[in-house]
Every structure is written in structure tokens, then in C-alpha cells.
Amino acid sequence: MVNIIGPTIFGIVLGYVFGRVSKASVAPLVVVGMYVLTPCLVFSSVYSSTVLISQAAKMWASCLIIMAGTFAVAWLVFGLVWKKHTGLYLPIVFANVINIPLPIIKLAFGDQGVAQTMLFYIPYALLINTVGIYMASGRKGLRQGLSVIARTPLIYAVVLALVLNLTGAVLPEGIVRSFGLVGDAAVPVMLIVLGMTIGGIRLTQLPATLVASVIRIGGGFCLGLLAVWLLGLTGIPRAVVLFEAAMPSAIFATVLASRYENEAELVSSVVLTTTIMAVFVVPALVYYLT
């Protein structure tokens, strides 16, 4: 387990220290990571792994079950009981399903784990860039979300690799190795980006922050258990779903909340709190799932 968690923590801490010392902008790394490195990693992993359409459908269904369930809990707590902080739907529903879990899943389960992670990611990416923007903008951003999806190479990489995989198409070895070489840089860059980003977030409104954080991680994990039971998932797909279900809030939730002025400080506080919680949750998950 140390061989899995150690490199992950090292990358995050390195990014945090670098960000605090250098005061460098994280934006260029984010762009390179999301638009170049991660699509290459995804294409290489999905293309090279064994993927069945029935299995893909179960991963998609599990993602939808978890997201719908967390939304329902968030609505009950903040919509009906507290009747405020509806901006917290974003960090509760949308977890960090790439930056934190992908490096660890890569180390723990190899390319097959990465492939299952990206299958899980497909409906998530579609929803955060449509429903997520729609929620953050006060029900005004659906068209903008569709435009974001159309400009996201990660989606195209997943879909193209999935089509090639399922149809049995064979690419030249040089092409596959090229994607793999560039994709190998995605994991350390994502960890460094995460560390640099954490350094700029502060805690606020602790009661609401803690409640939302527990729902995201604890409630998410319970819904993950429900999803794998309902869908009969076993092995690596089961491990990936449970791992993803208990991940901290997506940093992109902060971006959306800031852009549309929807309780951005509170959303950022939940992102930071759940990420800190993940320091303790992730090792426990790795031990349990491996």
C-alpha cells in the first residue's frame, strides 16, 4: 500500500510546496494536463485494455446512481431542511474523479483500472459540463456547457479509444507507444496541479462545510456500495466505482461557483475539507479494495 499512496502524497506535497514558494500560475499546467497529457493517457489505457460494452454500461449506470443519490441527499439537507446553501449541490454531486483517483488507480490496478475509471468518467464529464453549469449559473448555462463538451479532447479520446477497442481495430505499435509515452506524464502533472491548487483555498462557514463534506465522501461511498450491489460489479470495476464514489469534491466545482458567483467561498471550503479528509480516506480505501 505504501508503494501506491507514497508517490501520490509526494506529488501533491511537491506541488503544494512549489506553489507556495514559486507563486507560479497553475493555469498552464492545467491546460497541458487536461488538453494534452490526460487524453493521451486515456487513449492508451482504454485502447490497450479489455473492455466489454455490457461492463461499460454498468460503469455508466453506477456513475449516474451515485450522482443522482448525492443530489437527492443534498436537496433534502440544503433544499428542504436548511433551505439555503443550494450552491453546495455542486461540490456534493461532482467529485474529483480524475486528479486524485486516476494516479492511485493507475498504480494499484494498472491500465485496466484506468480504462474502467475513464468509462466511469464519460457520463460524469457530460453532466458536469451541462447540468453542472446549468446549476451554477442559475439555470442559464446549458448551451455553454454543450459548447465546453465539444471543445474537450478528453471526451473524444475516450470515445475513439472505446470504438477502436470494441471493434478490434489494430493500430501500429509506434502510435500506441507514442500515446503511452506522452500519457505517462499525466499522473505526476495532475498531482502537482492538485497540490498547487490546494494552497490557495481557505476554510469558511464550518457547519455547512462539514455537513456537505460528510455527504460527499460518506454518503458517496454508501451510494457506491448500493450501485455495485445493484449492478453486480466485482473485481476491478467494483473497486473503481467504490473508490470514485468516496472521492473529494471536484476543484472544477469551485471554478463554476466563482464564475457564476454562486457561494464560491463556501464551495471552495468544501473542496478543501474533502481533500484533507481524502488524506485519511484514500489509504483506508486502498487497503480495503486491494
| Number of neighbouring beta carbons within 10 Å of residue 235 | 10
Is 101 a member of any domain? yes
Is 21 a member of any domain? no
Is 39 a member of any domain? no
Is 264 a member of any domain? yes
- Report how far apart, in Å, the C-alpha atoms of 72 and of each of 80, 87, 127, 154 are: 11, 14, 16, 28
In the predicted model, what is the mean pLDDT of residues 241-251?
A: 92
Is 1 a member of any domain? no
pLDDT in the model for residue 234: 93
Is 247 a member of any domain? yes
In the predicted model, what is the mean pLDDT of residues 53-69?
A: 93
Cβ(108)–Cβ(231) under 8 Å? Answer: no
For the stretch 201-232, pLDDT in tens is 666 778 889 999 999 999 999 999 999 999 99
Is 72 a member of any domain? yes
SS3 for 94? Answer: coil
Asked if residue 187 has pLDDT above 90, the reply is: no
Q: Which residues have C-beta within 8 Å of that of residue 106, sequence separation ≥ 6?
A: 45, 113, 114, 187
In the predicted model, what is the mean pLDDT of residues 21-31?
A: 79
Strand partners, 95: 249
Q: Count up the domains in the chain and report the number.
A: 1
Is 226 a member of any domain? yes
Identify the domain containing residue 250 by its residue range: 52-169+201-289
Confirm whether pTM is higher than 0.95: no
Cβ(240)–Cβ(108) under 8 Å? Answer: no
